[in-house]
């Protein structure tokens, strides 16, 4: 079967493409504004990529099935051509549920923050236990080098996103997956482009709970009030809590790189790993609980944490030149920004941190978080804010709250110059965006190298 995927370079749809290819299908896809790492792994898998959404590609590829990403909408010529042609089509989540998850034990990871890291952790723990799990993750775990694989039955780890499914299905993606093991990491307001308020998101999470069987398990953050409200809306499945409750961490090192684990008050072992921050400690607890549900002993799971290499674009070290260290991070919500900075600060102590932020998500562009951005960036010694032409609101007020530490730039060249102007010995440069940011990470490293060599 030839499957053609619209919006193939999105993190989720790229994973669908890899799974379809691994299942033996011919796969092609199209997207606009493609950038690594997804485009790279698709090309390496032999998936034909088409830049843009011209409708002629449907006649050219003659696909047997078109899988439609949620970036597509009515009125686009390719969608109108698809509907008029009466070719078979499906959403990505529906295709995944029907062709991959139907006969598998799905372990789903949901929540506003930490889905990618926790999914990657869980998949790695199961891998270390010899279970060869399949997975679809909204990023690339360094241990695996790909965002998706079919794996061996029965276990499949899926990052369960609350964003809507497709232009013809406005339910959250995760209601399609019917997991037997469900992690609920946390819950805050996000995706202001499709949800009017927090209650609307909680309603979708409640719908997800309705799909988990009674013999399954829900692993929930015991410290999250918003999730507690969701659980009171109706829950028919046993619940284990982490953070506070069944799974707890104690004797945590300041940067989160070491901690002991208790389960039901009984010591299970001590973890030592390369990840930073208290948020990652909670991610680890959630993954340990989910792995335990499918038979992995806590001691074995804790040992697996030591070899976990992290996820691309999650506080990923991109390079160090002349004493300046450059990181890439996907953070696009004030809470994620604050926790990432806190973890880095705990690791580097008094070394200067420059935070470079491109507010790029749909919610950011709507200005929903503009009052909470400055407090989220408080741990940085300097903050450089990139005012993209399509942002829709002025970052000047955020910079004003930061005082002399804050600066707004209106081009990539100006941003690069501002970073270099503020550099000191042992500076940590944390670049945050949920897009490619014009390749600024590599451009900065090249400029630093040129400066060292001159």
Higher confidence at residue 33 or residue 95? 95
Query: Where does 103-305 sit in CATH, by number?
Result: 3.40.1190.10
C-alpha span between 149 and 133 (Å, rounded): 8
The top-level CATH class assigned to 316-453 is: alpha beta
Look at residue 361 in the predicted model and tell me its pLDDT: 76
> pLDDT value at position 359?
86
Q: What is the pTM of this model?
A: 0.86
Residue pLDDT, tens place only, 25-84: 999 999 997 666 667 778 888 998 998 999 999 999 999 999 999 999 999 999 999 999
Q: Which of 122-126, 334-338, 339-343, 423-427 has the highest mean pLDDT?
A: 122-126
How does pLDDT run across 220-269, given as a tens digit for each residue? Answer: 999 999 999 999 999 999 999 999 999 999 999 988 999 999 999 999 99
The pair phi, psi for residue 224, each rounded to 5°, is -100, 110
The chain-wide mean pLDDT, for the chain, equals 92
Q: Given this model, what pLDDT does residue 55 score? A: 96
Domain ranges of the chain: 2-93, 103-305, 316-453
257-262 own/partner pairs: CB under 8 Å, 24+ apart:
257/347, 259/284, 261/285, 261/288, 261/298, 261/302
Q: Which of the two residues, 421 and 362, has the higher pLDDT score?
A: 421
Instruction: Give pLDDT tens digits for 273-317.
Output: 999 888 899 999 999 999 999 999 999 999 999 999 988 888 888
**Where does 257-318 have alpha helices with state H?**
278-293, 298-305
What span, in angstroms and rounded, lies between the C-alpha atoms of 213 and 202? 19
Amino acid 383: pLDDT: 94
* Tens digits of residue pLDDT in 144-185: 988 899 999 999 999 999 999 999 999 999 999 999 999 999
pLDDT at residue 452 is higher than 80: no
**Quick one: fold of 2-93?**
Rossmann fold (3.40.50)
Query: Cα dist. 169→55, 68, 120 in Å?
Result: 22, 11, 27
pLDDT for the residue 336: 83
> Rounded mean pLDDT of 332-352?
87
Token pair, residue 224, equals 């999250």
């Amino acid at each position: 079967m030839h499957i053609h995927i619209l919006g193939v370079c999105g993190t989720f749809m790229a994973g669908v493409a890899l799974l379809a290819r691994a299942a033996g299908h011919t796969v092609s896809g199209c997207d606009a504004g493609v950038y690594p790492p997804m485009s790279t792994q698709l090309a390496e898998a032999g998936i034909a990529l088409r830049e843009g959404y011209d409708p002629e590609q449907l006649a050219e590829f003659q696909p047997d099935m078109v899988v439609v990403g949620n970036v597509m909408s009515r009125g686009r010529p390719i969608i109108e051509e698809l509907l008029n042609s009466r070719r078979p089509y499906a959403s990505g989540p529906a295709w995944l549920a029907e062709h991959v998850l139907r006969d598998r034990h799905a372990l789903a990871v949901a929540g506003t923050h930490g889905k990618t890291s926790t999914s990657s952790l869980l998949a790695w723990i199961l891998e270390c236990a010899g279970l060869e799990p399949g997975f679809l993750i909204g990023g690339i775990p360094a241990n695996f080098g790909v965002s998706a694989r079919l794996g061996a039955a029965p276990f499949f780890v899926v990052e369960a996103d609350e964003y809507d499914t497709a232009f013809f299905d406005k339910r959250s993606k995760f209601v399609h997956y019917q997991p037997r093991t469900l992690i609920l990491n946390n819950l805050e307001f996000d995706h202001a482009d499709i949800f009017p308020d927090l209650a609307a998101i909680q309603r979708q999470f409640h719908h997800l709970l309705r799909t988990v069987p009674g013999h399954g398990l829900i692993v929930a953050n015991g410290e999250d009030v918003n999730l507690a409200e969701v659980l009171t809306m109706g829950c028919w499945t046993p619940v284990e809590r982490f953070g506070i409750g069944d799974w707890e961490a104690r004797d945590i090192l300041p940067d989160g790189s070491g901690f002991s684990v208790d389960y039901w008050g009984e010591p299970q072992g001590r973890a030592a790993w390369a990840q930073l921050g208290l948020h990652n400690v909670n991610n680890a607890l959630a993954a340990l609980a989910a792995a335990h549900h499918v038979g992995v002993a806590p001691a074995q799971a804790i040992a697996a944490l030591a070899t976990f290499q992290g996820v691309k674009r999650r506080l990923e070290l991109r390079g160090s030149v002349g004493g300046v260290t450059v990181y890439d991070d996907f953070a696009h919500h004030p809470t994620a920004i604050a926790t990432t900075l806190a973890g880095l600060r705990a690791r580097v102590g008094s070394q200067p941190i420059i935070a470079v932020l491109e507010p790029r998500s749909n919610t950011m562009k709507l200005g929903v978080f503009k009052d909470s951005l400055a407090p989220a960036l408080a741990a940085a010694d300097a903050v450089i804010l990139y005012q993209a032409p399509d942002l829709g609101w002025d970052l000047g007020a955020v910079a004003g709250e930061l005082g002399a530490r804050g600066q707004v730039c209106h081009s990539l060249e100006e941003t690069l110059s501002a970073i270099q102007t503020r550099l000191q010995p042992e500076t940590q440069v944390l670049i945050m965006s949920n897009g490619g940011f014009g390749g600024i990470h590599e451009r900065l490293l090249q400029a630093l190298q040129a400066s060292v060599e001159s």
